[in-house]
Amino acid sequence: MANVTLTINGVQVTVSEGTSILDAARGAGFFIPTLCHDPASPNFGACRICVVEVKGARALVASCSAAATNGMVVETESPAVVEARKTIIELLLANHPADCLTCEKNGDCVLQEYAYRYDVRSSGFEGERHSYPVDDSNPYIIRDMNKCILCGKCVRTCEQVEDRQVINFAYRGFKTKIAPAMDTNLAESDCVSCGRCVAVCPVGALTYKSMAGKGRSYEIEKDQVTCSFCDAGCQFNLNYKAGKVIGVTAKEPGSGRPLCLKGRLGLELLYNEKPVAPMLKKDGAYVEVPWVEALGLEGVLEKLKEREN
């Protein structure tokens, strides 16, 4: 494939043809914020916080969905770019709960990070606010759609990577929200609790129930582990606090492989000194089940018993 050379913030950068401006800039070490961009699923180009200034273009350009071209001159932090990003953050904060003090995502939240970086202390916009009930019907995942910024990453990862369509955009305009079919709760949907959507959510809209109240992000160290329950090789994070594993979470996607609940539960049992009892759905409702059942090992136990007899 041919190469193209462009100038980013005064520096000449050479990338292969078809590379986005975003990837070219990040590859050269320049910061560009993104909210809806996910390398594991195709470009969405919705949040527009990744805009940059391209010499000769009539408007700011979304860097995630525009290809770098020969001779292009790009500025990633010009005054116009910074102003546009501030406005996007202000609009998001206009309908966002001021909940950082108690939010599980505090310290690991992309919206919080960008508000800090661009010095947006509050929203200059006033208007109607959502007041959705928090959905904690699923035993593993808490959904707080009041904190959702509609980036769509959860929808795309569920559909394109996990090969399911459990959640999607529902309604229109101000009422737009992410919801399972018929706007029911997660427990009543076909969700398999893989946790992939939680792993990609940039804010505190999707969080792990098992990690709630266990510690701030800066108190927790993560160590990557590859599941060996099957040959898919899914990757998880062991979450350590004060040297002890306090929970297993899906690793931020990168490999593109699907994750499964059985793998995560198995690793909980293996590494976590205090694993929470597993729950599986039976006859439409979640019930606590023995570990052998949660891990699908009943058949193995039967065979071992047969051999003993």
Binding residues vs ligand SF4 (CB under 6 A): 96-97, 99-100, 103, 105-106, 109, 111-112, 141, 147-154, 157-158, 162, 164, 166-167, 178, 191-197, 200-201, 203-206
State whether the Cα torsion 195-204-23-43 is positive or negative.
positive
Nearest distance from C-beta of residue 284 to ligand SF4, angstroms: 16
Nearest to 46 by CA among 250, 202, 215: 202
Nearer to ligand SF4, 38 or 53 (CB): 38
Nearest distance from C-beta of residue 306 to ligand SF4, angstroms: 35
Nearest distance from C-beta of residue 175 to ligand SF4, angstroms: 14
Nearer to ligand SF4, 5 or 168 (CB): 168
DSSP state of 2: -
Nearer to ligand SF4, 25 or 109 (CB): 109
CA dist 19 → 15, 122, 204, 270 (Å): 7, 35, 31, 42
Contact criterion met (CB below 8 Å) for 217 and 100: no
Contact criterion met (CB below 8 Å) for 74 and 53: yes
Nearer to ligand SF4, 148 or 265 (CB): 148
Contact criterion met (CB below 8 Å) for 96 and 132: no
Question: Tokens in use for 88?
Answer: 């996007």
Nearer to ligand SF4, 35 or 74 (CB): 35
Nearest distance from C-beta of residue 233 to ligand SF4, angstroms: 18
Nearest distance from C-beta of residue 76 to ligand SF4, angstroms: 23
Nearer to ligand SF4, 13 or 148 (CB): 148
Looking at the chain, list the stretches that DSSP marks H as alpha helix, in order from N- to C-terminal side.
21-27, 79-94, 110-117, 153-156, 196-200, 261-271, 291-294, 298-308
Nearer to ligand SF4, 147 or 251 (CB): 147
Nearest distance from C-beta of residue 119 to ligand SF4, angstroms: 15
Nearest distance from C-beta of residue 4 to ligand SF4, angstroms: 32
Task: State the angle between helix axes of 79-94 and 110-117 in degrees (0 to 180), rounded to the nearest 10.
Answer: 130
Non-local (6+) Cβ contacts of 58 within 8 A are: none
